């Protein structure tokens, strides 16, 4: 007995097929007119796409059937009819239409494959850190005025004034690393930015490990080991879904440590040689990133950016104080930055000076400064963008497809 939804129907007049999906896979059911009661044959004729049914019959191996099994039907009950205007039809739909009907679009084989791979990546993240003794710490979404400054969603918080939706859990993660040694966060983060690129959502999930006593080099080693683990795990466990997405898995097999490392100065020279007019001191844009990764078949680290291009909390590079000890990890195949990481400034005076330079209100950061006042410590961490990582592994062009109900500048529903 199977309870499922109808995805595909065909009939020759004497024999009829209904392909069913139950969320875990698909199964073909076969109705033979001469072998089923007349009312069952009549009920088959009522079936439409996405009708929910209960089917009774005998399962048997059938190499020609999708999934290798079919069910010879003896009984059929219609549970929920589905009017013939079911929005998603076997034709090309525009992206706005598909997103308006996201609750139905998720039922397609391709969207299911993406969801299964996302789930595998998420479980992989938890297993990776659990097995290595990291504590997961759930940092707050509602925060007072801290973190990055622009693009904040604000909400009134009782008599406390405005609260802002977190853009990062990092500062809290640093406090937790002082308490627990190795930690990671896993939660939604928010950007109220008017970006309409294929890499931006207003709400996306970030994973932010923070490790006491790690320096910038340890940090990059952790990143390459972690990312490689995730890719190899999906390759091992989600072959069917990668095939459904027609992903070129050879490109993924290659993702093993070490990843190439390019310091910022060399990266600028490289993109200049390729015609970019980026100058030393500028941040690297998406076009520069594409020029860099074109030379590699693995993710590439670009490390030690100029101070002014990066956030206040990154540690000054003792060998070149114009720069900070940080890295961006650029995915291959043009998927762009999937990680930003850094060793954190652990010198109290330098951090106070950086806050002032950035025009940030020091009083909001007193508890963060406390971590440098009392037993300061070398530490480093990074943020991995979940949707960008899953999009890359899936080979999907736009991050809007790798989260169940994407939030974009012009999209708040369904």
Of 235-294, binders to a second copy (CB under 8 A) are none
Assign 115 to helix, strand or coil.
Answer: helix
Could you tell me the smallest distance in angstroms from the CB atom of residue 28 to a second copy? 18
Residue 298 or 372 with smaller CB distance to a second copy: 372
Beta strands across the sheet bearing 379-385:
135-136, 182-190, 203-212, 379-385, 336-343, 326-331, 300-303, 261-263
d(CA 169, CA 388): 18
d(CA 126, CA 136): 8
Site size with a second copy, rule: CB under 8 A: 93
Binding segment (CB under 8 A) for a second copy, from list 29-37, 240-248, 266-274, 367-375: 367-375
Q: Within 10 A of 137 (CB to CB), how many other CB atoms are there? A: 20
Residue 32 or 45 with smaller CB distance to a second copy: 45
Binding segment (CB under 8 A) for a second copy, from list 174-182, 260-268, 291-299, 312-320: 174-182
Q: Applying CB under 8 A, which of residues 62, 180, 282, 337 lies at the interface with a second copy?
A: 180
Within 67-96, which residues bind a second copy (CB under 8 A)?
79-83, 86
What's the distance, Cα to Cα, between the start and end of the chain in Å? 33
Q: Applying CB under 8 A, which of residues 155, 196, 197, 359 lies at the interface with a second copy?
A: 155
Residue 172 within binding range of a second copy, rule CB under 8 A: yes
Could you tell me the smallest distance in angstroms from the CB atom of residue 109 to a second copy? 11
Residue 318 within binding range of a second copy, rule CB under 8 A: no
- Which DSSP helix (H) or strand (E) runs through 163? strand 162-165
Residue 97 within binding range of a second copy, rule CB under 8 A: no
Beta bridge partners of 70: 28, 60
d(CA 1, CA 48): 20
Residue 116 or 292 with smaller CB distance to a second copy: 116
Fill in the DSSP letter of residue 92.
-
Residue 165 or 324 with smaller CB distance to a second copy: 165
With the C-alpha atoms ordered 79, 80, 81, 87, is the resulting torsion angle positive or negative? negative
Task: Compose the 325-364 pattern: x for residues touching a second copy by CB under 8 A, - for all others.
Answer: ---------------------x------------------
Within 111-140, which residues bind a second copy (CB under 8 A)?
111-112, 115-116, 118-119, 122-123, 126, 130, 133, 135-140
Residue 15 within binding range of a second copy, rule CB under 8 A: no
Could you tell me the smallest distance in angstroms from the CB atom of residue 156 to a second copy? 7
Within 185-204, which residues bind a second copy (CB under 8 A)?
187-188, 190, 192, 194, 202-203
- HSE (side-chain half, CA atoms, 13 Å) at 406: 29
Contact 268, 308 (CB under 8 A): no
Angle value at C-alpha 356, between 354 and 362, nearest 5 degrees: 105
Could you tell me the smallest distance in angstroms from the CB atom of residue 245 to a second copy? 16
Helices (H), 106-263: 109-131, 170-180, 216-237, 239-244, 249-253
- With tokens 């999009």, the residue in question is 391
Angle value at C-alpha 140, between 225 and 223, nearest 5 degrees: 10
Q: Applying CB under 8 A, which of residues 51, 219, 317, 323 lies at the interface with a second copy?
A: 51
Binding segment (CB under 8 A) for a second copy, from list 32-40, 91-99, 150-158, 244-252: 150-158
Residue 372 within binding range of a second copy, rule CB under 8 A: yes
Q: Applying CB under 8 A, which of residues 32, 42, 294, 409 lies at the interface with a second copy?
A: 409
- Which DSSP helix (H) or strand (E) runs through 33? none
d(CA 301, CA 296): 11
């Amino acid at each position: 007995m199977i309870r499922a939804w109808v995805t595909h129907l065909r009939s020759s007049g004497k024999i009829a097929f209904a392909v069913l999906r139950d969320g875990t896979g698909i199964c073909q059911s076969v109705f033979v007119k001469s072998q089923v009661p007349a009312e069952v044959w009549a009920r088959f004729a009522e079936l439409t796409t996405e009708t929910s049914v209960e089917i009774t019959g005998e399962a048997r191996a059938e190499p020609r059937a999708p999934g290798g099994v079919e069910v010879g039907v003896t009984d059929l009950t219609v549970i929920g009819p589905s009017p013939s205007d079911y929005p998603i039809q076997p034709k090309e739909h525009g992206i706005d239409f598909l997103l308006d009907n996201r609750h139905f679009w998720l039922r397609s084989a391709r969207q299911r494959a993406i969801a299964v791979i996302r789930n595998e990546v998420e479980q992989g993240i938890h297993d990776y850190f659990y097995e290595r003794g990291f504590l997961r710490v759930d940092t707050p979404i509602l925060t007072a005025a801290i973190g990055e400054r622009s693009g904040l969603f604000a909400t009134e918080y009782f008599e406390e004034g405005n609260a802002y939706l977190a853009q990062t859990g990092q500062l809290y993660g640093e406090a937790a690393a002082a308490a627990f040694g190795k930690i990671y966060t896993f939660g939604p983060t928010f950007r109220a930015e008017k970006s309409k690129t294929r890499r931006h959502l207003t709400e996306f999930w970030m994973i932010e490990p923070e490790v006491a006593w790690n320096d910038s080099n340890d940090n990059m080693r952790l990143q390459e080991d972690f990312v490689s683990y995730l890719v190899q795990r999906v390759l091992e466990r989600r072959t069917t879904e990668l095939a459904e997405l027609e992903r070129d898995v050879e490109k993924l097999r290659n993702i093993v440590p070490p990843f190439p490392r390019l310091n910022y100065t060399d990266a600028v020279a490289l993109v200049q040689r390729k015609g970019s007019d980026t100058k030393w001191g500028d941040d690297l844009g998406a076009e520069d990133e594409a020029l860099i990764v074109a030379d590699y078949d693995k993710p590439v680290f670009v490390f030690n950016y100029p101070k002014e291009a990066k956030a206040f909390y990154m540690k000054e590079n003792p060998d070149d104080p114009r720069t900070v000890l940080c890295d961006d990890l650029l995915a291959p195949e043009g998927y762009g930055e999937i990680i930003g990481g850094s060793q954190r400034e652990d010198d109290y005076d330098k951090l106070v000076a950086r806050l002032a330079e950035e025009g940030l209100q020091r009083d909001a950061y007193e508890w963060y400064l406390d971590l440098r006042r009392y037993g300061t410590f070398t530490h480093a961490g990074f943020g991995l963008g979940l949707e960008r990582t899953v999009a890359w592994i899936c080979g999907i062009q736009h991050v809007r497809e790798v989260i169940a109900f994407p939030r974009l500048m012009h999209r708040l529903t369904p």
